[in-house]
Amino acid sequence: MSVKSVKCDCGHINHEGTVLCEACGKPIEGNQHIDGNDEKHVLEMRYEGSARRSKTYKRTFIDKTWAFFSSVKVGVWLIVITLVLSALGTIYPQEKFKNSPLPSSQFYVEEYGLTGKIFYQLGFHNMYDSWWYITLVALIGVSLIICSIDRYVPLRRALKNQKTKRHEIFVKRQRLVSEDNNLTEDDLNQLKTNLKSKRYKVYEDDGHIMAEKNRFSRWGAYVNHIGLIIILIAAIFRMFEVMHVEDYVWVREGETRVIPSTNQEYYVKNEEFIYEVYDPVQQEQFRMALEDVENPVPKNFQTNAIIYKAVGETITGQEPELEEVERGEVRLNQPVTFDGYSLYQAGTQVESEYDSMTFTVSLEDESLGEFTFDTDDAPPQFELESGTTVNVDGWFPELEFTESGPSSFSKFPRNPGMILSVENPETNNLERFFYLQEDIVPLSDENQLAVEVTEVDRRSASGLSVKKDYTLPLFGVGAAIFMIGVVQGLYWYHRRIWIHPKDGKYLIGVHTNKNWFGMKQELDKVTSGTNVGEFTDQQEMK
Amino acid sequence: MEKKKKRLVFRTIVLSVLVLTLIFVLVVNANQDRPKLEEGDPAPNFKLDRLDQEGETIELADLEGQGVMINFWATYCEPCKEEMPYMDQLYEEYNDQGIEIIAVSVDKNEIVINNFYNSLDLSFPSVHDKNETVMEAYEVIPLPTSYFINPDGTIERVVQGPLTLERLEEYFLEILPQ
């Protein structure tokens, strides 16, 4: 046994730093400042006056670190700092959501001025993945664990070691007391019966009575902390691709694309994209609601998707052999799932691109044939039945005019331009045409041939977000345990009543860890039919 | 005293577990932003059809023993087009010394690739990464991006953005077979 332990008058040996004797509750001299009992009449009962070790030993580096994190004050500060920083990080968009081709060093200052510059320079543009933010959250976790260990262990010991027979001072310095009660044997029996009917456990020792109920409520906070720690562990698991994947892929109608973050194992084909709006004519019930609405109101965004799995070894770049694994309709909040992955409808470009354009070539109102230009796979040359040859001299998927002539700034045929040269055996001339915005412009006045656009076929692009998350059940377990802890600590109260005989009269002290109003009401019922006097609420008014 | 020692051991264990977890999380987090392909790693193999020679394919694995430049480009990328003449100029000189260039276009339609390739009369192999699988394997984000591969198949250098003639030559010398 440590030299530093303190022996109480009742004979119980307490740990160094104990405020109230674990057994009889008598305040231990010299330690009353720890819980502030020296300045108040009512004893601080939060941790039963047990010795929180961190408040006593501060010798080695380990002990000092432990003591630092064991402080609730430190924990609260860590939470406040993290909270303030987290809020600050939302002022401007985070780097990955800035949606601009500008590098971050220019984006923030140009978009938001001086404050944006400060935001960037402080590193807030990439806050939630930064090492210092993660460290802060981790320190909260450390504080949570150490605070819990440091309070749970001595509290549990103190509650286990408590004796029915308490020291007079302990009882007298409870918040609710009733002194100098003259109680007969009948009164005491009535009290015990009343207490038992209120589900108290009643202990007796040498004429002293202690009634206690709902001690488990005191563990609520620690159960709650276990829940939080599980949530933090789940957050760590989320960092691994095995457990959690989040990505995005655009698939155009008719296109088959590799699903990112699946190691090129899965492919998705967009069979058809369906966009529907609410129709006031067909559906009478929407007529009133749609009367003042200018733009159509979307009803459905849907991708009819087929999921394939690549079988066998394929050298990257070669067409893999695909095997269908799943087929389904992806709608908002209705993903298609396969092998742990889910594809969610997350973006649309409705009919934003041209899939194909069909042209006819004619000479003096006589058709020389037609051809279809497939924007992705079209050959550079078309041979028509009449012997006419059409050459694609230039193809500009997203047309713009620069100093060096027509050019394209993307590969997506959203606003295509095309230069065609047509050779016909009869005219024996190379005639050139320009296709622009679904129309044909001859590039020379002497063109005898006529090219016309007869049909255009548009396609939609569907944005699908790819998700895999095996950590959700763990988050669920953490959250459930958290909630159980909250309920345990909030809806039950740990209540104790000590009946202390003294010179033929009885002193009664009452403690509850919360809800004193309810305690007073319960006391009325417990003392009904007995000679117990009024209870005084000794809480000092500040 | 025994008790105090036990307590110190307990605290040391708990703190070390927590500190190690924190370090582990930070290391994992730091590695997440980093590309998986880095200098020194083996270059992922790929095989694509050549556009400049019909019916021919080119596979990276077959080029072992040669220094290879893989250039990801597209016709809508102006800086990509600007560096092509430099590549062609040096290709004539270094191809005999064991340097191969693969120009991987990520365009959608082959017409534009061939038109550009022919208009400059380029001579190095031209391929089309139609499904963007090679692009994904090489984690290409900005265009142009060039990988310089050693004769042993490891990545010597990754360059994002356009190259000058001088720098291109310098990087060729780095991957020149002995």
Q: Would an 8 Å CB–CB cutoff place A53 in contact with chain B? A: yes
Report the DSSP beta bridge partners of residue A511. A496
Output the pLDDT for position A540.
60
d(CA B177, CA B151): 6
The architecture that CATH gives domain B47-174 is 3-Layer(aba) Sandwich (3.40)
Co-location of A135 and A198 in the same domain = no
Does A137 lie in the same domain as A49? Answer: yes
Which chain A residue is nearest to residue B58, measuring alpha carbons? A317
Claim to verify: residue A250 and residue A287 sit in the same structural domain: yes
> In the predicted model, what is the mean pLDDT of chain A?
90
Contact criterion met (CB < 8 Å) for A315 and B115? no
Q: Do B47 and A315 touch (CB under 8 A)?
A: yes
From the list B14, B111, B133, the residue facing A395 with the nearest CB is B111
Q: Is residue A311 part of a domain?
A: yes
pLDDT at A493: 95
How far, in Å, CA of A491 to CA of A493, rounded?
7
pLDDT tens digit sequence for B109-135: 888 899 899 989 999 999 999 888 899
Element (H, E) at B28: helix B2-33
Of A142, A149, A318, the CB nearest to B47: A318
Domain ranges for chain B: 1-34, 47-174
Q: Quick one: A22 and A150 in the same domain? A: yes
Question: Which residue in the set A257, A315, A408 is minimally distant from B76, CB to CB?
Answer: A408
A404 touches chain B (CB under 8 A): no
On whether residue A73 sits in a domain, the answer given is: yes
- For residue A3, what pLDDT is reported? 45
Which tokens is A453 given? 């656009």
A38 with A156, same domain: the answer is: yes
Find out whether the peptide bond into A93 is cis, omega within 30 degrees of 0: no
Give residues 272 to 331 of A whose Cβ lies within 8 Å of B. Answer: 315-319
pLDDT score, position A386: 81
Residue A413's closest chain B neighbor by CA? B108
Q: Which chain A residues are closer than 8 Å to B36 by Cβ?
A: none
**Cβ-defined contact of A134 to B7 (cutoff 8 Å):** no
- Say how many CB pairs under 8 Å bridge A and B: 118
Residues of chain B with C-beta less than 8 angstroms from the C-beta of A392 = 111
Among the partner residues A53, A315, A394, nearest to B115 by beta-carbon distance: A394
Which segments of A162-247 does DSSP mark as H helices, in order? 168-172, 185-197, 220-237
Q: What is the pLDDT of residue A1?
A: 39
Which member of A2, A236, A316 has the closest CB to residue B4?
A2
- A140 with A40, same domain? yes
The answer to whether B90 and B167 have CB atoms below 8 angstroms apart is: no
Q: Are residues A318 and A263 in the same domain?
A: yes
Q: Which domain holds residue A382?
A: 356-456
- Positive or negative CA dihedral for A241, A245, A250, A256? positive
- For the entire predicted model, the pTM comes to 0.78
- Test mutation, A135, A145, A381, A411, chain B, max B CBs within 10 A: A411
Q: How many domains is chain A built from?
A: 4
Residues of A in contact with B133 (CB under 8 A): 258, 264, 316-317
Are A236 and B21 a contacting pair at CB < 8 A? yes
For residues A334 and A444, membership in a common domain is answered with no
Q: What is the pLDDT of residue A464?
A: 95
What does the H/E/C string look like for A106-152?
HHHHHHHHHHHHHHHHCCHHHCCCCHHHHHHHHHHHHHHHHHHHHHH
| DSSP H stretches of helix in A350-503 | 472-491
Q: Are residues A268 and A391 located together in one domain of the fold?
A: no
Residue A14 tokens read as 């307490």
Give φ, ψ of A99 to 5 degrees.
55, 50
What residue has token string 């500009």?
A396
Domain at A504, CATH number: 3.30.310.180
The total of other beta-carbon atoms located within 10 Å of residue A480's CB is 12
Which ipTM was obtained for this model?
Answer: 0.83
pLDDT along chain A (542 residues), means of 10: 71 87 89 86 87 69 90 94 95 86 85 92 91 93 93 90 92 92 92 94 93 95 95 91 91 91 91 91 84 87 95 86 94 94 93 92 86 89 86 90 85 90 81 89 84 91 94 96 96 95 92 93 92 86 50
- Checking if the pLDDT of B104 tops 90, the result is yes
Q: Is residue A503 part of a domain?
A: yes
Residue A474, in any domain of the structure:
no
Nearest-Cα residue of chain B relative to residue A396: B112
pLDDT for the residue numbered A316 = 87
- Whether residues B47 and A264 touch (CB distance < 8 A) is answered with no
Q: State how beta strands A366-374 and A256-258 pair.
A: unpaired
Question: Cβ of A137 under 8 Å from any chain B Cβ?
Answer: no
Pair A28, A150 in one domain: yes
Residue type, A270: N
Q: Which residues of B touch A (CB under 8 A)?
A: 1, 3-4, 7-8, 11-12, 14-15, 18, 21-22, 25-26, 28-30, 32-33, 44-48, 59, 74-76, 106-112, 114-115, 127, 129, 131-134, 136-137
Cβ-Cβ contacts under 8 Å, A378 against chain B: 109, 111
* Neighboring chain B residues of A145 at a CB cutoff of 8 Å: 14, 18
By the 8 A CB rule, do A85 and A136 touch? yes
A235 assigned to some structural domain:
no
Say if residue A434 is in the same domain as residue A403: yes
Which of A240, A257, A411 is facing B107, going by the closest CB pair? Answer: A411
Same domain membership, residue A141 and residue A15: yes
